Structure formats: structure tokens, C-alpha cells
């Protein structure tokens, strides 16, 4: 298990009541945000029948499985089994919970105690997250490491790129851009991200 | 308005969805597409020689294309859905209505291959489907950057109805939708619209409903 924070999503893309699947160090997780805004990263598996919890739904401060509606509190503890409304769920029915935090408009997850905080990303705004069916070579994209992120320009806009490795040589790029750029310039930078992905995938082909 | 309908068809569902959102009254005629192959029967071919669904009949009018049917239902029951606010919005609606044919030809085919054992080049269909989803994702990112939440502008239109079903149902054809955060938020926004209806594989947002009381034995 990797002892550092892995970027898994842009904060903006995990609105309240949203649950999404993410992969950290090969582990499949359900990342979700409660109605009050709290985030959590859990093993993506309902302890009842193994259904992916990322197919589930968030109601208030709990995540419920789509299969039989078992709902789990922030601690991962099962709090309600709809088919047995009078039953207090045993403490053993609990979803494994991982460390998750938000910093710089990015959501980070760590499977083991991280040695350092995520990088500082001052002056940047979230642009988008894209998944590449290829590994990412920052040097080929003209980016250089600085302060824990790959930095450079896309379509003339200053960007910082965070890489989330996926199994099978895939990866997710979480791209942040200069907060002073105009919307039209950010659209160009978004198209620059598309180009970057195309080049990475063509290099693999 | 009579709709020749098949419950598992995304193209039929988009008509039912628009009708529900606009309050249009449809008379549904179920077509036994699978396993019966009723769309190939002489009676159905007399209505639509192409043997495709959906088909709409209204008085003397027969429409055999889902974009045309959507346009007709909107013009009759909810003209705002036509998206005529600006020339740009109108053009984007036309763009996405046409784009939806690419969704049917990729994700739609992958889905009937996997679910109904229809012949298809499944690898090519899935590759084309991923490309379609990437294009929708990129378009939604750009619209968000320009301050809009939907495909054609700042409110839902036929563009969204035309592209929404296949975007949700791609996993039926072995195409993951995990990698598209903008599509995830957009499909949630559509499922939150007043009057939204479901189809198998596309469920409502349970989080918008209060927790049901316990069932008494």
C-alpha cells in the first residue's frame, strides 16, 4: 500500500449526493459526498452481497447499496437493513474506510499513513479529469515537475497535471489551470488535454 | 399520438421520456422486438418498411425516425424543448440530434449484441462508443466553462434527451461509464427533472426521495 496521497477526482466533480468509483493502487473504491459535504472513500463492495457501492445512492449522511438498500453511516458501520427494520445491524457489518481529504480543489485518498501533505496548488482552478488508455509521459507533453505536480502550458494556458495511475497501463490526469485565464482560454486548454491524450494513446499503438 | 414501442429500446425510451417531461399523452403499442421479431412482420412493415422502432402515428402523419418524433412531440407539447433561444442553441440541438445516430450505431449495437445476441463487430462498436462518450464529455466540459449545464445551452433541450439514454446504458454493451465525471453530473441533472420516468437500466435518483418507512410484516 502506497504511503502517499493519490489524486482521485476534482472536488467540483463530486457534488453533494454523488458517489463514483475510483481506483487507488489497484484497489476499487467508492468515493462519495454526503448532503452536508463530507467526503468518504470506501471499499467498493457491499458486505451483504458484494454489489459495488458506487452503484448506490447517498441519502443525507449515509450511503445505501442499490441492491437491497442496506445503508452505511460515515464510519462505514451498517445502520439500517430495510428488510429487517427492527434489527440493530451487528457491528461486524462494516465497510472498510480509507483516508480521504480535499486540498487545492482536488480529492486525495491514501491507503497507508501518508508521509507528506498533497502539493500546494495556489492560483489554479480545476479544469477537468480525463482517463488515458495509455501511460502518461510528462516530458513528451512538455511538462516538468515542480512542487509535486507536472507543470507547463496547454494552448498557452499555465496548467498543473496530477497523475492517478490505473491498472493495465492506464491513468487519469487531473488537470488544473491558471485561475486568471478566460473561459474561452480554458476551453482551448481543455482541447489541449484532448490532444495530449490522443498523443499518449497513439504513442502506445 | 400512437408510439410503436419496445421497453428496452433507448430510442423508444427517449420518446416516452420527452412525453413525460412535456405532459404529452402517448398511446403505446408494444412491439415484440425480441424474441418475437415483430418489427419484421408483414403488419409492421406495412407501417414502416424499414422495420425499425420507434414509429409514431398521429392522424395522417407517420414518423419512423426518433429525431423526427422528438421534434414533433416537442413542437406539439413543449416547444421550449426545441431549443430555439438563439441560433447557436438551435444549431447545437440539430448537432446532437444527428450525433445520437452515432450513439445508436455504436453503443446501441454493442448493447443489442450483448443483451439480445444480435450480430455486430463488438470490438469496433465499443471503440466507437468510447469515442462518442469522450466527445459528449468534452462538450459538457466546454459548456460548463462557458456557464451552461446542458448540451445545447443553459437549460435542457432535445439535445439532452437524444443523447441521455445511450450515455446511461453503455455498460449494457460492455462500455464503462466510470471515466466521465461531466457525463455523471449531466445525467444526474436530467434524472432530477420534474416528471422524469425510468426504463430498465436507468433508475430515478433515490436520493431525492425520503427514506421509505419500514415495511410491516
Residues 6 or more apart whose Cβ sits within 8 Å of residue B184 = A13, A18, A20, B177
Last residue of one domain, picked from the residues B49, B80, B111:
B80
Q: Does B188 touch chain A (CB under 8 A)?
A: yes
Total domains, chain B: 2
As a whole number of Å, the CA-based R_g of chain B is: 18
Closest residue in chain B to residue A21, using alpha carbons only? B178
Angle at B17 between CA B13 and CA B18, to 5 degrees: 120
Q: Has residue B95 been placed in a domain?
A: yes
Q: Count CA within 13 A, CB hemisphere, residue B115.
A: 20
Q: Are residues B61 and B102 in the same domain?
A: no
Instruction: From chain A, pick out residues whose CB is under 8 angstroms from the CB of B178.
Output: 20-21, 131
CB atoms closer than 10 angstroms to residue B68: 13
What average pLDDT does the segment B88-92 reach?
98
Q: Does B214 touch chain A (CB under 8 A)?
A: yes
Instruction: From chain B, pick out residues whose CB is under 8 angstroms from the CB of A17.
Output: 205, 207
Question: Residues of chain A whose C-beta is under 8 A from some C-beta in B?
Answer: 9-10, 13, 15, 17-18, 20-21, 57-59, 64, 66, 82-83, 85-86, 127-131, 172, 183-184, 186-187, 190-191, 194
Instruction: From chain B, pick out residues whose CB is under 8 angstroms from the CB of A176.
Output: none
Q: Are residues B140 and B43 in the same domain?
A: no
Task: Say what the pLDDT of residue B214 is.
Answer: 57
CATH number at residue B131: 1.20.1050.10
Q: How big is the A-B interface in CB pairs under 8 Å?
A: 58
pLDDT band at B38 (very low <50, low <70, confident <90, very high): very high
Q: Is A151 exposed, middle or buried (0-12, 13-18, 19+ CB in 10 A)?
A: middle
Q: Is A182 exposed, middle or buried (0-12, 13-18, 19+ CB in 10 A)?
A: exposed
Report CA B77 to chain centroid distance, whole Å.
Answer: 18
The kind and range of the H/E element at A31 are: strand A27-33
The domain spans of chain A are: 6-110, 124-204
Closest residue in chain B to residue A35, using alpha carbons only? B207
pLDDT (tens place) for every residue of chain A, 205 residues total: 668 899 999 999 999 999 999 999 999 999 999 999 999 999 999 999 999 999 999 999 999 999 999 999 999 999 999 999 999 999 999 999 999 999 999 999 999 999 999 999 999 999 999 999 999 999 999 999 998 899 999 999 999 999 999 999 999 999 999 999 999 999 999 999 999 999 999 998 8
Q: Are residues B75 and B88 in the same domain?
A: no
Last residue of one domain, picked from the residues B80, B103, B133:
B80
Q: Are residues B89 and B183 in the same domain?
A: yes
CB atoms closer than 10 angstroms to residue A82: 15
Q: Has residue B214 been placed in a domain?
A: no
Q: Does A10 contact B215 at a Cβ distance shorter than 8 Å?
A: no
Helix, strand, or coil (residue B152): coil
Does residue B211 register a pLDDT over 90?
Answer: no
Q: Has residue B115 been placed in a domain?
A: yes
User: Å from B132 to nearest chain A CA?
Assistant: 13
DSSP 8-class letter at A53: G
Does residue B212 register a pLDDT over 80?
Answer: no
Q: In degrees to the nearest 10, what's the CA dihedral of A72, A78, A80, A84?
A: 140
User: How far is Cα A53 from Cα A57, in angstroms, rounded to an integer?
Assistant: 8
As a whole number of Å, the CA-based R_g of chain A is: 19
Instruction: From chain B, pick out residues whose CB is under 8 angstroms from the CB of A66.
Output: 203, 206
pLDDT tens profile A136-161: 999 999 999 998 899 999 999 999 99
Find the domain containing B162 and state its range: 83-191
User: How far is Cα B156 from Cα B161, in angstroms, rounded to an integer?
Assistant: 8
What average pLDDT does the segment B38-45 reach?
97
Rounded mean pLDDT of chain B?
Answer: 96
Is the preceding omega at residue B54 within 30 degrees of 0, hence cis?
Answer: yes
Q: Does A13 contact B184 at a Cβ distance shorter than 8 Å?
A: yes
Q: Are residues B59 and B135 in the same domain?
A: no
Q: Yes or no: is domain A6-110 CATH 2.102.10.10?
A: yes
User: How far is Cα B62 from Cα B75, in angstroms, rounded to an integer?
Assistant: 15
Alpha helices by DSSP H, listed for B55-157, are 66-77, 87-103, 109-116, 122-145
Q: Has residue B201 been placed in a domain?
A: no
Last residue of one domain, picked from the residues B54, B80, B106:
B80
Interface test with A, best of B134, B178, B181, B214 (most A CBs within 10 A): B181
Q: Does A64 contact B188 at a Cβ distance shorter than 8 Å?
A: no
User: How far is Cα B66 from Cα A201, in angstroms, rounded to an integer?
Assistant: 35
Alpha helices by DSSP H, listed for chain A, are 183-204
CATH number at residue B10: 3.40.30.10
Q: Are residues B134 and B76 in the same domain?
A: no
Task: Say what the pLDDT of residue B217 is.
Answer: 41
Q: Are residues B58 and B90 in the same domain?
A: no
User: How far is Cα A3 from Cα A14, in angstroms, rounded to an integer?
Assistant: 24
Q: Has residue B35 been placed in a domain?
A: yes
Instruction: From chain A, pick out residues whose CB is under 8 angstroms from the CB of B214.
Output: 82, 85-86
Q: Has residue B217 been placed in a domain?
A: no
Q: Has residue B202 been placed in a domain?
A: no
User: How far is Cα A159 from Cα B52, in angstroms, rounded to an integer?
Assistant: 48
Report which of A120, A134, A142, A192 is spatially closest to residue A168, judged by C-alpha positions: A134
Contact A175, A157 (CB under 8 A): no
Instruction: From chain A, pick out residues whose CB is under 8 angstroms from the CB of B145.
Output: 183, 186-187, 190
Q: Does B142 contact A187 at a Cβ distance shorter than 8 Å?
A: yes
Q: Are residues B119 and B183 in the same domain?
A: yes
pLDDT tens profile B46-58: 999 999 999 999 9
Amino acid at each position: 500500500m502506497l504511503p502517499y496521497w493519490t489524486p482521485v477526482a476534482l472536488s467540483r466533480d463530486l457534488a453533494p449526493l454523488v458517489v463514483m468509483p475510483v481506483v487507488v493502487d489497484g484497489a476499487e473504491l467508492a468515493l462519495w459526498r454526503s448532503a452536508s459535504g463530507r467526503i468518504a472513500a470506501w471499499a467498493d463492495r457491499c458486505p451483504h452481497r458484494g454489489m459495488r457501492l458506487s452503484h448506490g445512492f447517498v441519502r443525507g449522511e449515509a450511503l445505501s447499496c442499490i441492491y437491497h438498500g442496506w445503508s452505511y453511516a460515515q464510519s462505514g458501520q451498517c445502520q439500517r437493513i430495510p428488510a429487517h427494520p427492527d434489527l440493530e445491524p451487528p457491528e461486524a457489518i462494516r465497510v472498510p474506510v480509507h483516508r480521504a481529504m480535499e486540498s487545492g480543489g482536488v480529492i486525495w485518498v491514501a491507503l497507508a499513513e501518508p508521509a507528506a501533505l498533497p502539493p500546494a496548488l495556489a492560483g489554479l482552478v480545476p479544469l477537468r479529469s480525463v482517463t488515458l488508455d495509455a501511460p502518461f509521459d510528462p516530458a513528451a507533453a512538455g511538462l516538468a515537475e515542480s512542487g509535486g505536480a507536472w507543470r507547463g502550458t496547454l494552448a498557452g494556458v499555465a496548467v498543473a497535471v496530477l497523475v492517478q495511475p490505473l491498472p493495465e497501463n492506464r491513468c487519469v490526469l487531473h488537470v488544473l489551470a491558471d485561475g486568471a485565464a478566460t473561459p474561452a482560454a480554458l476551453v482551448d486548454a481543455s482541447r489541449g488535454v484532448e490532444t495530449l491524450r490522443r498523443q499518449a494513446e497513439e504513442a502506445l499503438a | 399520438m400512437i408510439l410503436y414501442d419496445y421497453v428496452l429500446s433507448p430510442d423508444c425510451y427517449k420518446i416516452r421520456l420527452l412525453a413525460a417531461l412535456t405532459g404529452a399523452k402517448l398511446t403505446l403499442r408494444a412491439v415484440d422486438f425480441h424474441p418475437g421479431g415483430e418489427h419484421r412482420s408483414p403488419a409492421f412493415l406495412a407501417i414502416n418498411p424499414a422495420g425499425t422502432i420507434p414509429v409514431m402515428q398521429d392522424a395522417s402523419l407517420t414518423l419512423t425516425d426518433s429525431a423526427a418524433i422528438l421534434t414533433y412531440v416537442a413542437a406539439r407539447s413543449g416547444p421550449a424543448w426545441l431549443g430555439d433561444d438563439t441560433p447557436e442553441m438551435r444549431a447545437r440541438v440539430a448537432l446532437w440530434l444527428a450525433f445520437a445516430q452515432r450513439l445508436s450505431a455504436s453503443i446501441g449495437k454493442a448493447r443489442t449484441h450483448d443483451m439480445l445476441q444480435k450480430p455486430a463487430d463488438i470490438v469496433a462498436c465499443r471503440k466507437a462508443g468510447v469515442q462518442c462518450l469522450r466527445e459528449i464529455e468534452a462538450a459538457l466540459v466546454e459548456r460548463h466553462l462557458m456557464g451552461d449545464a446542458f448540451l445545447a445551452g443553459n437549460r435542457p433541450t432535445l439535445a439532452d434527451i437524444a443523447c441521455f439514454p445511450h450515455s446511461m446504458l453503455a455498460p449494457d454493451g460492455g462500455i464503462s461509464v466510470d471515466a466521465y465525471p461531466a457525463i455523471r453530473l449531466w445525467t444526474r441533472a436530467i434524472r432530477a427533472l420534474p416528471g422524469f420516468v425510468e426504463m430498465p437500466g436507468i433508475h430515478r435518483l433515490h436520493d431525492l426521495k425520503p427514506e421509505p418507512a419500514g415495511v410491516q410484516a
